[in-house]
């Protein structure tokens, strides 16, 4: 079951601020793919922008450069096996959606699909920056749509009702950290 | 007490991969400052590079542009109050180091100081990219030195012997998430 409610664009940076691993989905002309990306961050509040590293050898890179769009999907712990799986093979040879039982939903904002089972989604439109893309594999994009599972993100705040729904942070070698306890500093 | 051991440069991306909040320290000609930055990520493995957003209105920005250097310090939960404090005022008006009892150590790699009490440090040399800096407040830098507290990062792995030593992830409004439990996916 995937629950999804819109998030105001000016609050969409909150979905990425704590540095979770992402799944990058892209589609172009009937072709589509999904890859894992730990190197993604917010770049601006309003209009909201993101920066993400997309390796030049990936098939997703071709789809993103052709379509000018992608979705940053924020997976939860229940999806860790799939995150690892889609990061360990290429969509040129494997239909990752079929192979790893990854469902998708469409939103009218971009061609790129939203990955079911994730807990937040940022639909992004590439701001063409040829030098960054070529030299650093770095893509800058404007966030044009944002959604979250209201069980875990509502009224601008993350909360994790179960361990399965925690967001996750990639380390290396198939190892992750789960997002842990929330706490306030400064007596707030 | 601050413990610090060198980390091989090609493994330095592991210090930032899970998306912790950072403290950015900079120094130039006897002036120095420290600010908080949640928007920092790795950009490449070898030579290791990072990308970080440094607001154009900050004093740190002036020091970084003048010196071409900064350190990304990775704080732990015990430092959350200081992270919030240095992110809530400007070094133009306040000596943050004195005001918030922030100690520093020097390493010969950069002029920028290493913040005591942090658990990892990435010394960075700016790769000048005027367009990115001006248009996106985005700085790209090469990592030229890396260290970690061996109690929490050793042999390429994070481990948190106490809650105080956990790395932290910034949400908003003075709220953080602690880095949580590590787990392996893919049967590893």
* pLDDT range class, residue A59, cuts 50, 70, 90: very high
Q: Is the peptide bond before A86 cis (omega within 30 degrees of 0)?
A: no
pLDDT band at B127 (very low <50, low <70, confident <90, very high): very high
Residues in chain A within 8 Å Cβ distance of B80 = 183, 185
Neighbours of B40 (CB within 10 A): 24
Q: Say what the pLDDT of residue B88 is.
A: 86
pLDDT at A1: 60
DSSP H helices, B38-178, are 59-67, 80-86, 96-99, 130-136
- Average pLDDT of A149-162? 96
| Rounded distance between C-alpha atoms, residue A169 and residue B107, angstroms | 30
How much is the pLDDT for B187? 55
Distance from CA of B174 to the nearest CA of A (A): 5
Residue B125 gets which letter from DSSP? E
Residue A157, pLDDT > 80, answer yes
* Mean predicted lDDT score pLDDT of chain B: 95
The CA radius of gyration of chain A, in Å to the nearest whole number, is 16
- When pLDDT is averaged across residues A163-188 and rounded to a whole number, the result is 91
Query: pTM (2 decimals)?
Result: 0.96
CB contact, 8 Å: B92 with chain A? no
DSSP one-letter string for A87-130 = TSS-TTT--HHHHTT--EE--TT-SSPEETT-SEEEEEEE---H
Nearest CA in chain A to B16: A171
Q: Which residue has the higher pLDDT, A23 or A94?
A: A23
Which chain A residues contact residue B175 at CB under 8 A? 157, 182-185, 188
**Listed range (A23-27, A55-59, B39-43, B50-54) with the worst mean pLDDT:** A55-59
Look at residues B17, B11, B29 and name the one whose alpha carbon lies nearest to residue B154.
B11
Q: Give B1's pLDDT tier (boundaries 50, 70, 90).
A: low
User: pLDDT confidence of A27, banded at 50, 70, 90?
Assistant: very high
A179 at B interface, C-beta within 8 A: yes
In whole angstroms, give the CA distance from residue B111 to residue B18: 27
Among residues B44, B15, B16, B21, the alpha carbon closest in space to that of B34 is found at: B21
pLDDT digits (tens, 9 = 90+) for A86-112: 988 888 888 999 999 999 998 888 999
Q: Which residue on chain B is closest to A21 by alpha carbon?
A: B18
**Chain A residues 101-130 within an 8 A CB cutoff of chain B:** none
pLDDT mean over A49-72 = 96
pLDDT at B93: 87
């Amino acid at each position: 079951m995937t629950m999804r409610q819109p998030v105001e664009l000016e609050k969409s940076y909150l979905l990425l601020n704590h540095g979770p691993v992402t799944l990058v989905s892209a589609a172009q002309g009937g072709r589509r793919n999904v890859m894992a990306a730990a190197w993604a961050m917010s770049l601006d509040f309003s209009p909201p922008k993101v920066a993400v590293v997309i390796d030049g050898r990936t098939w997703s890179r071709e789809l993103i450069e052709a379509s000018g769009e992608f979705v940053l999907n924020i997976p939860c712990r229940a999806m860790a096996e799939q995150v690892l799986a889609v990061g360990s093979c290429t969509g040129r040879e494997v239909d990752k959606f079929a192979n790893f039982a990854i469902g998708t939903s469409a939103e009218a904002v971009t061609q790129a699909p939203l990955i079911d089972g994730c807990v937040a989604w940022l639909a992004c439109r590439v701001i063409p920056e040829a030098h960054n893309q070529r030299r650093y594999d770095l893509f800058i994009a404007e966030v044009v749509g944002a959604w979250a599972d209201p069980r875990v993100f509502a009224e601008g705040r993350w909360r994790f009702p179960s361990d399965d729904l925690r967001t996750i942070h990639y380390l290396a070698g198939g190892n992750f950290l789960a997002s842990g306890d929330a706490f306030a500093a400064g007596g707030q």
